[in-house]
Structure 1
């Protein structure tokens, strides 16, 4: 079995990685700025939790001690966290190297280097930081999560409208399927080259209108489905189809099956 440290192990994907790794019998530690309380539902039995901050380096040595592989599921979507995202990755890689870690596996976004959207730019910069590391690194580029599209629909439905974007198709993936790809990369036999990129796409490609219709049917939400232009870098990225990898359908949980599991909470 492998000793795995999950950076960001309390987040959407990180929590799924921890759950799968513990179930597989691995030794699992979680690195997070804010450690869940002992009685919290966010704290999973079988994992050790460490308070650590990749932006300062505080706590990293203790969290990484004895670790074979780091799985980086950290997010930095806004403000200071986004600005320091790549630097945090470099700091984590350096600390992992000092701790004798053999490999880092990092969650990223499909074709993030083809977008000028600031969040995607920060992801691409972090990929480059890992590519400069002396450690073996594997970047797992996932398509967008089911929850992202559902969140867009829910936000619009509060105003009586369910927005879809002109020319947009999605190949969304569940956090659990993305987590399985990360864990597979973490436990696979080492191989060349030193720095590799893998892709994890959802099981189907759908228009945004198809997804909106499914979301309304399953959630029972009201609102008129409307088509809107999406300007800026994100609109260009979606219209170009850079969010799609139909040849890499590794996920098994469809948007509909994911929604049905969460019908009561959506």
Structure 2
């Protein structure tokens, strides 16, 4: 039986990887700084949960013991977590190598190396740690999640102004689809290259206005859609279309179907 360690196994994508891996009959260990209590909806039966922290090395040896592959779904969006994001990845890889793990798979963001936005820079830095690892590695770059765009709309709806960024289109994808791609990469046969990079894109390319209209219809929110220019590195990244891979539509869950599934929580 293949044994999988999911780092960040209680996060947005990590818990979906855990769910899919457990359903596939794999032996699963979830590494997280905060282990969900028994009875929590974030905890899956048959999964071993280990408390740990890649920034200090705490719990890594225990979580990786006996694992064949590690899937890194960790995030570090702000402050200290972002500054230590790449180093944490390197620490996880080193611990995995010592434990005899044969492959490491990491979640990243499409074209993160083409942006000066600090969060994307940290992702690119971590990708380089994977490319230099002694392990066989696969980095899976995903387009933005459906929830990112929905979060922008929800914030604007509080003042009844729904922002859409000028010149921006999205090819958003669901965490479930990304989790499936990560698990596929973990279980695939050896490739000709020791360090591989692949991209997964959402099922459709939409303007932000189209997405705003769908979000308002699904949530019943009232307000006026307003076009704004997003400044800085993130705005430049979106206007250049670096968040899109229109020739590659891997996801199956559209933005509208994702909204329908989550209607009660939006």
Aligned to 1:149, the other structure's residue is in SS state helix
Q: Per-residue CA shift, 1:212-246, capped at 9, x if unaligned?
A: 00000111001100100001000000000000011
Q: Which residue of 1 aligns with 2:249?
A: 249
Aligned to 1:162, the other structure's residue is in SS state strand
Q: Matched residues in 1 for 2:129 and 2:247: separation?
A: 27
Q: Matched residues in 1 for 2:174 and 2:85: separation?
A: 23
Tell me if 1:87 matches 2:87.
yes
Q: Which residue of 1 aligns with 2:167?
A: 167
Q: Per-residue CA shift, 1:49-97, capped at 9, x if unaligned?
A: 0011100111110110000000000000011100000000000000000
Tell me if 1:74 matches 2:79.
no
Q: Which residue of 1 aligns with 2:123?
A: 123
Aligned to 1:259, the other structure's residue is in SS state helix
Tell me if 1:22 matches 2:22.
yes
Q: Matched residues in 2 for 1:211 and 1:236: separation?
A: 20
Q: Matched residues in 1 for 2:184 and 2:248: separation?
A: 15
Q: Which residue of 1 aligns with 2:43?
A: 43
Q: Which residue of 1 aligns with 2:220?
A: 220
Report matched runs for 1:2-17 at 5 Å. 2-17=2-17
Aligned to 2:263, the other structure's residue is in SS state coil
Q: Which residue of 2 aligns with 1:232?
A: 232
Q: Which structure 1 residue ranges, 4+ long, deviate > 2 Å from structure 2?
A: none
Q: Matched residues in 1 for 2:19 and 2:34: separation?
A: 18
Q: Per-residue CA shift, 1:10-42, capped at 9, x if unaligned?
A: 000000000000001110000011111112211
Tell me if 1:109 matches 2:109.
yes
Aligned to 2:264, the other structure's residue is in SS state coil
Range 147-156 or range 33-42, more displaced: 33-42
Q: Which residue of 1 aligns with 2:208?
A: 208
User: C-alpha displacement at 1:43, in angstroms?
Assistant: 1.0
Q: Matched residues in 2 for 1:175 and 1:73: separation?
A: 11
Q: Which residue of 2 aligns with 1:52?
A: 52
**Which structure 1 residue ranges, 5 or more long, are not aligned?**
none
Q: Which residue of 2 aligns with 1:183?
A: 183
Q: Per-residue CA shift, 1:177-230, capped at 9, x if unaligned?
A: 000000000000011211000111000000000000000011100110010000
Q: Matched residues in 1 for 2:70 and 2:105: separation?
A: 6
Aligned to 1:12, the other structure's residue is in SS state coil
Q: Matched residues in 2 for 1:112 and 1:67: separation?
A: 29
User: C-alpha displacement at 1:130, in angstroms?
Assistant: 0.8
Q: Matched residues in 2 for 1:250 and 1:164: separation?
A: 25
**Which structure 2 residue ranges, 5 or more long, are not aligned?**
none
Aligned to 1:216, the other structure's residue is in SS state helix
User: C-alpha displacement at 1:158, in angstroms?
Assistant: 0.5
User: C-alpha displacement at 1:2, in angstroms?
Assistant: 1.4
